[in-house]
């Protein structure tokens, strides 16, 4: 479905860096895939959105700060989807910039929720799983009109499957890393049939340093011709 303001949710851009074989990290969790020029592009994109969102797995694996550092610009609101409140209060995402929002499920351990409250703004939803549509509506009400989804694999799947991604920006690094357990761009349970998959329309192809950036518009899921 094409995005409209009437949806009362932010316009969502999913950005990721992957190898030619579709991996966003190696089997050991190394996700340093982008070249310097692509990292600069990512930081510029961050400075132009209202919020950046990641899943708990990305915080636990990469400990990113999600701030704007490689270009001049303001830091967006940072949002972590953490159904079981697994993210430690010492994570970098809670330092510098505006307070980070952590979306947790009401069934998460109370002590961990309280620990997060000391360093972040904690929003409690029913679950896990958290209803991502509800989270996006709450972010929209808070003034978030453009949201950058920065992974990882599992959250990308939940957002894609729920029809909550409007644009996909994938930078492809000229490397192959293999590995059955290495995370791919979109993980989760996956669709059984290609015809069920999310349909994309290619909008832009651009060389960024040694990487190749592809920008797609998300057209929705369900049946259509493959080509
Ligand atoms: N190359 C890139 O561009 C890039 C970018 C980002 C990440 N990565 C890589 O991706 C990997 C991490 O991916 P991942 O799949 O393990 O983790 P992830 O997608 O970052 O986080 C998954 C976790 O998010 C929480 N979550 C997701 N949807 C939820 C929902 N609807 N309700 C409640 N909680 C929800 C769950 O936490 P609970 O299980 O606690 O409920 C889930 O386990 C890392 O290796 C990282 O390096 C690469």
Please report which residue ranges of 28-152 form alpha helices under DSSP H: 36-47, 56-62, 110-117, 132-141
Residue 156 Cα to ligand 1 middle (Å): 8
Tokens 């989270």, residue? 135
Q: What are the tens digits of pLDDT across the range 39-97?
A: 999 999 999 999 999 999 999 999 999 999 999 999 999 999 999 999 999 999 999 87
H or E, element range at 154: helix 153-161
For ligand 1, is residue 100 a contact (CB within 6 Å)?
Answer: no
Return the pLDDT at 31.
98
In which residue ranges of the chain is pLDDT below 70? 222-227
Residue 222 Cα to ligand 1 middle (Å): 25
Residue 183 Cα to ligand 1 middle (Å): 10
The alpha carbon of 40 is separated from its chain's Cα centroid by a whole number of angstroms, namely 17
Return the pLDDT at 227.
53
Q: Quick check: 149 and 155 in contact, CB under 8 A?
A: yes
pTM of this prediction?
0.96
What domains are there in the chain, each with its CATH number?
A: 5-221 (3.40.430.10)
H or E, element range at 30: none
């Amino acid at each position: 479905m094409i995005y409209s303001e009437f949806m009362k949710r932010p316009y969502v851009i999913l950005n990721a860096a992957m190898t030619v074989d579709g991996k966003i990290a190696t089997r050991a969790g190394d996700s340093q895939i982008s070249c310097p020029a692509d990292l600069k592009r990512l930081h510029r994109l961050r400075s132009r959105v209202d919020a950046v969102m990641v899943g708990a797995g990305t915080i636990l694996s990469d400990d990113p700060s999600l701030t704007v550092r490689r270009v001049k610009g303001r830091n967006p609101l940072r949002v972590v989807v953490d159904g079981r409140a697994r993210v430690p209060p010492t994570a970098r995402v809670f330092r510098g910039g505006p307070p980070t929002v952590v979306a947790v499920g009401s069934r998460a351990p109370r002590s961990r929720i309280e620990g997060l409250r000391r360093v972040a703004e904690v929003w409690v939803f029913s679950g896990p799983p958290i209803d991502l549509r509800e989270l996006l509506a709450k972010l929209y009400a808070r003034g978030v009109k453009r949201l950058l989804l920065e992974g990882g694999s599992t959250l990308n799947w939940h957002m894609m499957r729920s029809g909550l991604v409007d644009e996909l920006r994938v930078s492809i690094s000229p490397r192959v890393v293999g590995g059955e357990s290495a995370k791919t761009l979109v993980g989760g349970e996956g669709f059984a049939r290609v015809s069920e998959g999310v349909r994309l329309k290619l909008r832009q192809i651009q060389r960024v340093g040694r990487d190749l950036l592809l920008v797609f518009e998300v057209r929705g899921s369900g049946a259509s011709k493959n080509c």
